[in-house]
Amino acid sequence: MKYDGYRILVAVGGGEARAYTRSGLDWSDRFPSILSEARKLKVRSALIDGEAVVTDTEGRSSFQALQNALKGAPASIDYFAFDLLQLDGEDLTRLPLLERKEKLETILPAGNPIFRYSDHIQGRGEELLNRFCDAGLEGVISKLADSDYVGARDGSWLKIKCIKRQEFVLVGWTPSDKDRAFRSLILGVHDSGKLRYAGKVGTGFDTAEMARLMKTMAPLEQKAATVDAPRAEVRGAHWLRPKLVAEIAFTEMTNEGTLRHPSYLGLREDKKPGAVVLETEHRTATLTSPATSTIVISNRGRVIYPESNITKGQLADHYAELAEVMLPWVGNRPISLVRCPQGRAKKCFFQKHDAGSFGDKVHHVGITEKDGHEEPYLYLDDADGLMTCVQMGTIELHGWGARIEDVEKADRLVFDLDPDEGLDFEAVRAAAFQFRDILKSLGLTTFPMLTGGKGVHVIAPLTPKAEWPEVKDFASRLAQAVAQSDPAHFTAVLSKARRKGRIFVDYLRNQRGATAIMPYSARTRPGAPVAAPITWAEMKTIDAPSHFHVGDAPELKKRAASKALAGWGRADQSLPHL
């Protein structure tokens, strides 16, 4: 069953329980009754995926009812658990879905009215959808029974709705000539990376909700029009900075791109405006594995790495093999591509925007630049998107330190330890352990990654709470403190002249718009090296930051599923104060 609520991850451990949104916001204070039941689970630790909902006597979930409950009756909110990612320290994400659900069912108390198991039916999908729609339910989620868990949206599951509904950005409101607070809300949606007019909605809110909306919208009002819209439709409009997201139900979208018969369902505080893109309906014959791509790679025999005779086809095979383990890192975050259509020895260029040449498999998220205008940044969420980039001549994939759900809050710290040309890898190795210990003393768990270049990344995952100025300030002060305390070995200054015989602590990866090489990405260097996660134990003996190469994909995939790398790059921690 497709639930009409908030997607929530419940983390249990050490007698405590926390609740997080899909974008990493800590909403534990909103679901006290759910977390009270979670603390009673007979487990040492667990990470559970599910939906917080309010149901009526017929078992129908309602987003509006959930909104009302969050304002004053949180005890009426239930939790339907549908997946188990971790149990008692064991990473379950590589197990088939049905095995994960079996384990989930065993840890949930039978008959609990608040913390419930979300059951499933195998097969008979069309019949089930028709029955659900006739009963007034929202729809069906169809999942591949043997799929593992991938954080990004992929081809292993589909969302089939009984009625059309999605999130839209609130860009303004029109005044009412009656006693209502406003006549309608003006809607916008990101389409091809730009925010455009999507129509108006004038139903679905009561007097109390209208009053709450007016109070919320008042500080966001601006004089300039937020989107281009027909004058007759937005006469007298009060425009808003695009900061609010609402869920809207509608019957269809017109050829002009506006909604027919829209109805307001509620504000979506768990979704950021930049992540609100136009959803398109399409038919599919079958579900596919997350690692499966339908993209045809042309010119497979073209040599991309002339010194080692590696072809475009071999590079494509590398990414196809590793798509499943790479997508959790590269998916759903703004990316920049290093494209070398004629090979790494020819002209290469860096690309972060797109005017549509990548087709519909590579998506756009609108991000506001320093001067206030919005640009369409690239992101992908499945193997087709990844392989489209490869087909377009991409060798390297670099990602922001934030996901598209909230590009203003970092989900990791990256310290790039970049040695001077004269230094050997032993100096880098020692520096990596030094940074591990420093960050550990500050309460941060870290993970090493070979860059495939000259250095190593020391990565500290973050729950996305801190915004970029705070993150950059922390990284800058830490790098400068290390350089000042050990100037013989470190510098925090970018200048090549200041780097002589030292390691440059590149903290600049930790600022808005900066990117870092993604795990499992190939590099444009001779020999086709690959950026690869490793353990701290391996860091003691690994021979070089270019240890792995294109051609090692089977080994890299096997390593990603190993116990040694289980949980690599994941930790529930916040930015400390220096």
Residue 2: active-site member: yes
Name beta bridge partners: 415.
458
Name beta bridge partners: 241.
none
DSSP single-letter state for residue 4: S
Q: Which of 2, 200, 312, 472 is catalytic?
A: 2
Element (H, E) at 427: helix 425-441
Residue type, 568: W
Crossing angle (nearest 10°) for helices 553-560 and 312-330: 20
Tokens of 358: 């990548």
d(CA 304, CA 291): 23
Name beta bridge partners: 174.
184
Phi, then psi, of 540 in degrees rounded to 5: -70, -25
Minimal CA–CA distance to 460: which of 325, 330, 569, 333? Answer: 569
Element (H, E) at 432: helix 425-441
Q: What angle do CA 394, 396, 397 make, to 5 degrees?
A: 100
d(CA 359, CA 342): 21
d(CA 174, CA 187): 11
DSSP single-letter state for residue 74: G
Q: How are beta strands 238-250 and 164-174 bridged, if at all?
A: antiparallel
Measured CA to CA in angstroms, residue 341 lies from 162, 234, 412, 506 at distances of 44, 46, 31, 29
Crossing angle (nearest 10°) for helices 383-391 and 312-330: 140
**234-267: string of b/e by CB count within 10 Å (b at 16+)?**
beebbbbbbebbbbbbbeebeeeebbeebbbbbb
d(CA 93, CA 100): 8
d(CA 157, CA 163): 19
Residue listed under structure tokens 């990004």: 152
Phi, then psi, of 277 in degrees rounded to 5: -120, 165
Residue listed under structure tokens 């300030």: 473
479: left (phi over 0), alpha (psi -120 to 50) or beta: alpha
443: left (phi over 0), alpha (psi -120 to 50) or beta: left
Q: Are 438 and 430 in contact (CB under 8 A)?
A: no
Measured CA to CA in angstroms, residue 74 lies from 29, 52, 284, 437 at distances of 10, 10, 39, 42
DSSP single-letter state for residue 275: G
d(CA 446, CA 539): 12
Which positions are catalytic?
A: 2
